[in-house]
Amino acid sequence: MLTTRWLLKNCNIIDGLTDEVHENAFIKIENGMITEVGQGEPTQTGGFEIIDCTGKYVLPGLIDCHVHLVWNGSADPQSVINHEENDRIALEAYKHALDTLRLGITTVRDLGSPDRTVLHVRNVINSNLLEGPTIIASGAPICMTGGHVYYLGYESDGADEVRKNTRRVLKEGADLVKVMATGGIYTKGEDPGSVQLTIEELSAAKEEALKKNKKVAAHADGLEGIMNCLEVGIDTIEHGIFADRQALEIMKKQGTFLVPTMAVMRQLTSSPDIPAFALEKAKKVVEPHFNMLKEAVQIGVKIATGTDCGSPLTPPVYYFDELSIMHEAGMSQMDVIKASTSVAAECLGIEDQVGSVSAGKQADLLIVEKNPLENLNSLRDDKLIMKNGVFVK
């Protein structure tokens, strides 16, 4: 039988919220929740299974704010599922979700999957029927006809069609709405800088999402599309490749989240196996994208970690590359950890449930051997992973 009460003793806690490491601390976990966090010797320890964490570091489970669970991270993942039936695609998505959890990523936000595939996977995992990371999912993205990754989405032209399909995904159970505001890399024949959904269309999506108290995330690479998103109050800018200083300052002012997805762009240039049209476009964006992130860090834009994993040559393990690139761009190790825990939880609107080591939160925890504040790469190493108070594997 699974033990439902755990006591982690003698921990160094990186809580995801504060800047200090809390030494000689303990964590009580009951029925999947953190019930107490304290310093020194805990009292009332009867009935708890004790784990001595001397010398170890305990931090919140990691969050990936941008994944595509239906894709397998091969060189051309869409070609793998193009002719598959949804039943099969959902099963593959489940496998990728499990792979992700086993790296210590205990929550993901899926930003684009065909029909209700990932929504079903979310339902079985979030209801504890199957093991996996907590999933927040947009279901099918809303895009213009023939627009960015149209093969995953609901093609919509004009504000009325966008409104209709936004209502449709929300009726299907989407946790948020994903819109395609510009072109991108991994769709043939479009420019990442080009505008796709118009400002009227974006506005219709935002209005409908608001009615259901849901957020809107926008794929937005080009500057004009990014500005359109900011004007209508889109909640999260995904990629943000060509955001300039003015755009970043508006994001800072409005509290818009940036989910930069750096690793995928580097991966798209890493091999001749990448479809030629994508390789060529990716080479042109890597440098401006990195410069944008550096500027966003300087300005103090809210940055949440996301990988776009599942995309070409970006399986879930590239999460750790993402962390290194964020650090390279000027974020401290502590800020990178916050971006991957409490800030990411806020980006997803679930900060009351996950993203920090504090009482009342889901017991999603990592116990690691080495201090990740000295080297973020130590998060790759073997570790204990707890999700909802249950150890993974």
d(CA 323, CA 331): 9
- CB 68 → Zn ion: shortest distance, Å? 6
CB nearer Zn ion, residue 64 or residue 308: 308
CB nearer Zn ion, residue 51 or residue 229: 229
Give the residue at shortest CB distance from Zn ion: 308
Q: Which residues pair with 239 in a beta bridge?
A: 220
Size of the site for Zn ion (CB under 5 A): 1
Q: How far is CA 104 from CA 77, 365, 376, 384, in A?
A: 23, 8, 13, 8
CB nearer Zn ion, residue 15 or residue 308: 308
Restricted to residues 26-55, the positions that interact with Zn ion (CB under 5 A) are none
Q: What is the DSSP letter of 352?
A: T
Reference 301, options 230, 207, 228; nearest CA is 230
CB nearer Zn ion, residue 235 or residue 308: 308
- CB 211 → Zn ion: shortest distance, Å? 25
CB nearer Zn ion, residue 208 or residue 308: 308
Q: Which residue has 């809107």 as its token pair?
A: 216
Three-state DSSP string of 27-82? EEEECCEEEEEEECCCCCCCCCEEEECCCCEEEECEEEEEECCCCCCCCCHHHHHC
d(CA 197, CA 252): 23
Residue 295 is a binding residue for Zn ion (CB under 5 A): no
- CB 184 → Zn ion: shortest distance, Å? 8
Residue 308 is a binding residue for Zn ion (CB under 5 A): yes
Task: With residue 391 as reference, give the H or E element that holds it.
Answer: strand 390-391
- CB 111 → Zn ion: shortest distance, Å? 5
CB nearer Zn ion, residue 7 or residue 185: 185
Both tokens assigned to 215: 């957020």
d(CA 331, CA 293): 10
- CB 231 → Zn ion: shortest distance, Å? 22
- CB 177 → Zn ion: shortest distance, Å? 14
CB nearer Zn ion, residue 111 or residue 384: 111
CB nearer Zn ion, residue 175 or residue 308: 308
- CB 309 → Zn ion: shortest distance, Å? 9
Residue 15 is a binding residue for Zn ion (CB under 5 A): no
- CB 37 → Zn ion: shortest distance, Å? 35
Restricted to residues 165-184, the positions that interact with Zn ion (CB under 5 A) are none
User: Which contacts (CB < 8 Å, 24+ apart) does range 197-202 have?
Assistant: 197/142, 197/143, 197/144, 197/147, 197/156, 197/162, 197/225, 197/228, 198/228, 199/228, 199/231, 199/232, 200/158, 200/159, 201/144, 201/156, 201/158, 201/159, 201/162, 202/162, 202/228, 202/229, 202/232, 202/234
- CB 304 → Zn ion: shortest distance, Å? 14
Q: Decide: 280 and 43 in contact? Cβ < 8 Å.
A: no
Binding piece for Zn ion, criterion CB under 5 A, among 13-21, 49-57, 306-314, 337-345: 306-314
CB nearer Zn ion, residue 268 or residue 365: 268
Name the site residues for Zn ion (rule: CB under 5 A): 308
